[in-house]
Structure 1
């Protein structure tokens, strides 16, 4: 009778183990790529939603700014009208003061010191 001896090849077990390990790593990488892709898609959708909200707010703000500008112009005109009689009366009074503008401008322009000599550099 012949005896059959089964010798397990450790190299084959090792190779099978490595193949199995590679398959698991590949599956894990595919899953990670899928998760990353889905995450990027969610982020893109979220970003699009945020940008749309920002654009809506900006449009609303522009409408308010237009209204504010018109209201400001109306208010400015109103105060110009309110000031007009006072300015006209002031101008009338100033017209009766001889040399008013010469004195006013002369006193508003800074004068050099009395001992300042224009001919000699300092």
Structure 2
């Protein structure tokens, strides 16, 4: 989760140029948004054991937490840059920010997966104690 801050800061630095913030200010903005995401995550981790004990649907709760997190991130960037961009332009930039973040996370995952498997992609055999 902490990789969210530098990737998000670089992406917002590239996408939201009208504000004329430097990269460290974008890091602060991304860090503040990460604090909210961590708070949502903590509340979700408190809710999931209760959800498990009461036998509710855990899939629906997971999707709600993901949706709340994405809305919170969008709301944070909307509040930071709403005076400079039209609503459509701002929503388009936030959507592009998510696309860039998910692409970077996917590439980082593929690089780490390739490194761990010695670049031999295929079936994975997990032996934690062997």
Place the TM-score, normalised by the shorter chain, in its bin.
Answer: under 0.3
TM-score by length of 2: 0.26
